[in-house]
Structure formats: C-alpha cells, structure tokens
Amino acid sequence: MPLWLHQRALLTPERIAYETENSRLTFHELDQSARQLACILSSKGIAEGSHIAVLQENTLNFVRTQHALMYLHAICVPLNLRLAKRELSFQLADCAAGFLIADLATYEKAQQANTNCQLLTIEQLLEEATDTLPQPVLQREISLNDPCTIIYTSGTTGRPKGVVLTYGSHWWNANASLINLGLRETDEWLCCVPLFHVSGLSLLIKNVIYGMPVFLCRHFHAADVHQQILAGKVSHISLVASMLQRVLDDAGAARFPDTFRCVLLGGGPVPPVLLKRCLERRIPVYQTYGMTETASQCVTLPPEYMQAKAGSAGKALFPLQIQIDSGTRPAEAGEPGEILVKGPTVFSHYLNREDATRDAFTDGWFRTGDIGYLDADGFLFVLDRRKDLIISGGENIYPAEVEAVLRLDTNVTGAGVIGIPDSAWGQKPIAFVTVHRSDAFDADDLIALCRSHLAHYKVPKQVILCDELPENAAHKLLRRKLYERWLQENPSNPL
C-alpha cells in the first residue's frame, strides 16, 4: 500500500489538511515539510526500524514528526506529557529509544528524564538547511504488518507495557470508523485530545486516509472548543466525558449547528446526567469503548440508541467482533464475563513482554480484562473496568502502579488505591495505607512522594490511614471492599 501522506498529497494536494488558531496547511505543504524533516532526521542517523521517542505538545510539529518517521519507516513512541521524570525514563529505557524528539515547551522535562538517547528539539531541526544534506531514501509504500507506533499503557502490575500498533491497526481503525460514521466532503474533525494518546493519534491517521481537515488545538480550552463548534465548520470532535461537560457548561443555551454531527465520546463511562443534557440539546453523541490495544474505539453506540440503550457502549465496529467469556464462551445474552475483542485493529504485541502478550490472547481473541455482557440485541454493557482501573478525565490510572509508589515509603506496610466519583473528572484516586508506626504517618509526605514519581493525575487526592486493608483468603487486596467502606463513610456521593 502507498504511504498514506505520500498518496494523499498525490491525490488531493490542495485540500486543507490542518487548521489551527492561526494557520492552515494543505496536504501538499504538510507532505513537503514532512519530507524535509525526514531528510534532516535521516542525516542524524534515524533509520528504518529505529524506536524514536516523541515528547511534544499538540502542534503541527508533532504531526510533521510522525509523518517524517513514517517516511523513514522508523517507529514513533509518543510519550505522555503528564508523566513524571521517572516514568518517562522507564519508557525511554524500555523501548531503547535512540532519539528523543522534544519541543521547546517540553525540552526541560525531556532533558531531565533522558538518560541514554540523543535529545533533539523539533524547532531547531526544522531550521536546519536541507540543501546540502544527502537525499535519503524516503519510503513510498508501507506494509500493514509493520510496526508503526508504540504507546505505553500502565499495566495491572504497575509496570507500563509498550503496545505495538502496526500500520494495519491504524488503517483498520480508520476504515472501521469510516464505515460507522460515514464521511462527507465538508467534514472537519476538531482534535483537542492529546496526539500522544491513541485517541488523538487516530485523528492524525484519519486525516491522511480520509483526506479530511483536522482543526488542531494545542490545549483543551472549553470556551475555544465551543466557539469553534459554533463557527460551523467543525463536524466531529473526540472528547472524554469531563471535557464534554465543560464544553456544555460553557456553551449555555447556544444551539449547535446542524453540520456538527458527532461527539465521539471515549475514555470511560459517561454519567447519565451528561447524556441527558446532550439529548435535551440534541447533541449527537457516539459513546465508545476502546483502548490503546485496539487502536482506539472498537465498540460504538450510535446516537439513535442513546436513550433506548442507555448505559451501553454499543456494538462492534464492522471488521471487529466482541465476545464475552464467562468461563464457557461465548456467554449467553445477559451473562457477564470478560470482554474479548478480535479483529484487524488489535495490537501486535507488548514490547519486550512475551509473557504479557501470551496472557493477553486466547485463540486469537484479545482479553481486555474488562467485565461486561451483551444484551439480547447484541449491545455491549461494560460493568467493570479491568483490574479496578480508575479513569480520571480520560486518563487511565492503574491502582497497582500508585500502590507500588506508596510502598516505597519504609513506614508503609500496605496500600490500596481506589477511584471515587468526581463531578469534574469522572473519577479521582484516593489511597488507604497501613503503616508500622502511626506517629510517623504524614499524608502530605506520601502525596509528595507520589508527586515525585507519578504523573499528576495519578497522585491520590487523599491518603487515609487505616488499621488493616480488606483482603481475600489468598491475601489479595479487595479494592471493591475499600470502595464500599469509603461509600459508607461518605454517603453523600456527589454523582
């Protein structure tokens, strides 16, 4: 298959590829700058198959970097901007990145986290002259089986795993979504989700495959997003529930234009009260279920079922299949079990983690670890996120990862982290700990410890001292019991 940006620039060179608050770029222009950057990167030693870490804000430079790497068949490892130094260092070492391409805004953080790889800044790279550089061999084709990006996701053990997504994973996701949502020549997708997440990255891919303009926001500001929607050019937007809520708060009673035809709502469960607001305002919400391993959404609920199937994540996208494993699979309708996914968008493997990869698949089905059921009409209802996953503002927090940090304090003997409801972010993490000496316990110290090791969003908002943590017979922590305990003591649940 032809390389996507190369083909797109050949087919529709003059079409707008990207808009930002203060610029516009055609596919031809994007292609030219990506080729130029590829030349420069090649001259630095970046070659086919290299792992290249990218720590950049949501700007056109990120887009150029990703496409330049594709032109070199190098593998992009986008890093989460919110990660703490130690987390970044782990990921850089784990993927053995030869280069880290930062931008001016992230340079300091990159420098602190970086240990072994060559640090470049995109702004400087783009200023280099290319006239004197040797012309590298720019790839013009791709193979769908080749790795394209590696995105880290925190695992259940607290040790993040690099999810290897092939060109095929991305291609099939874009196509599956196309069949589901359709495409008009006037479509334009607003991207205010991070490009380092699979949700944002999937828009970067759709952009070139569909030939559809993307309005790219550097940061998420509810007022700006709302203004863009009202301006009438934006047709689609990807959001998580907490963002949508802020956009609606900002929007007041203003009516969204008819050309605005899709809010693709991912990143965890959606509060019913939010859906009700959207229904009242006739905002077309497509609830989705997906994860990095499925290259973004794999199950979607169209707006016509928002009421009839409230609480459902919908049905599989066309090339995908969902099955419930309740011990004897496939489960009966209504019978809960682990959600399995099969299809060409599913990731290839976890980097350097043969064991985890093996555990993740049964007979070609990917085991999500999430619990859910299919109703008699085939709609998926997600009951429980995998391994007590906490989702806060669309970011995943694995309790085990936070607990491991708390246990670094020598006074701490045990730790349990749960998510509690939060009106702004959906959920927020809090921690329960047991200690050797209660007189040496200081909640603020523990929070500071977490802050130094973890991305801000993962840091417990509260650390509660307790006598013992609930366990099962095998001394496995029962986080659900912790939640029940919390609920009893905080009956005025805000949601």
Which residue ranges make up the site for a copy of itself (CB under 8 A)?
1-2, 7-8, 10-11, 141, 175, 178-179, 182-185, 187, 209-211, 315-316, 318-321, 343-344, 378
d(CA 285, CA 297): 14
CA-angle at 319, arms to 318 and 325, nearest 5°: 95
CB 114 within 8 A of CB 53: no
Phi-psi category of 332—alpha, beta or left, where left has phi over 0 and alpha has psi -120 to 50?
A: beta
Comparing CB distances to a copy of itself, the nearer of 81 and 183 is 183
CB 168 within 8 A of CB 145: yes
Smallest CA-to-CA distance from 8 within 213, 183, 249, 314 is with 213
Smallest CA-to-CA distance from 205 within 241, 242, 172 is with 172
Shortest reach from residue 321's CB to a copy of itself, in Å = 5
Shortest reach from residue 356's CB to a copy of itself, in Å = 26
Shortest reach from residue 336's CB to a copy of itself, in Å = 20
Comparing CB distances to a copy of itself, the nearer of 282 and 461 is 282
Helix intervals (H) in 281-342:
none
- φ, ψ (nearest 5 deg) of residue 430: -130, 160
d(CA 433, CA 382): 29
Using DSSP's 3-state secondary structure scheme, residue 304 falls into helix
Cα dist. 116→53, 89, 94, 151 in Å? 12, 9, 11, 19
Comparing CB distances to a copy of itself, the nearer of 252 and 364 is 364
Comparing CB distances to a copy of itself, the nearer of 185 and 355 is 185
d(CA 11, CA 228): 28
Cα dist. 386→7, 130, 161, 337, 389 in Å? 39, 48, 15, 11, 6
Residues 6+ apart with CB under 8 A from 258: none
DSSP state of 457: G
Comparing CB distances to a copy of itself, the nearer of 97 and 204 is 204
Comparing CB distances to a copy of itself, the nearer of 14 and 127 is 14
How does DSSP assign 333-346, residue by residue? Answer: TT--EEEEEESTTS
Smallest CA-to-CA distance from 174 within 151, 148, 206 is with 206
Half-sphere exposure in the Cβ direction for 23 (13 Å, CA): 12
What's the token pair of residue 424?
């702004």
Comparing CB distances to a copy of itself, the nearer of 45 and 378 is 378
Q: Which residue has the tokens 């804000």?
A: 57
What's the token pair of residue 423?
């009106």
Q: Which residue has the tokens 């290839």?
A: 348
Comparing CB distances to a copy of itself, the nearer of 98 and 319 is 319
d(CA 174, CA 193): 17
Shortest reach from residue 383's CB to a copy of itself, in Å = 21
Shortest reach from residue 297's CB to a copy of itself, in Å = 14
CA-angle at 285, arms to 284 and 287, nearest 5°: 155
Shortest reach from residue 300's CB to a copy of itself, in Å = 10
Comparing CB distances to a copy of itself, the nearer of 184 and 358 is 184
Comparing CB distances to a copy of itself, the nearer of 211 and 337 is 211
Shortest reach from residue 378's CB to a copy of itself, in Å = 5
Comparing CB distances to a copy of itself, the nearer of 8 and 353 is 8
Shortest reach from residue 178's CB to a copy of itself, in Å = 6
CB 229 within 8 A of CB 256: yes
Comparing CB distances to a copy of itself, the nearer of 160 and 314 is 314
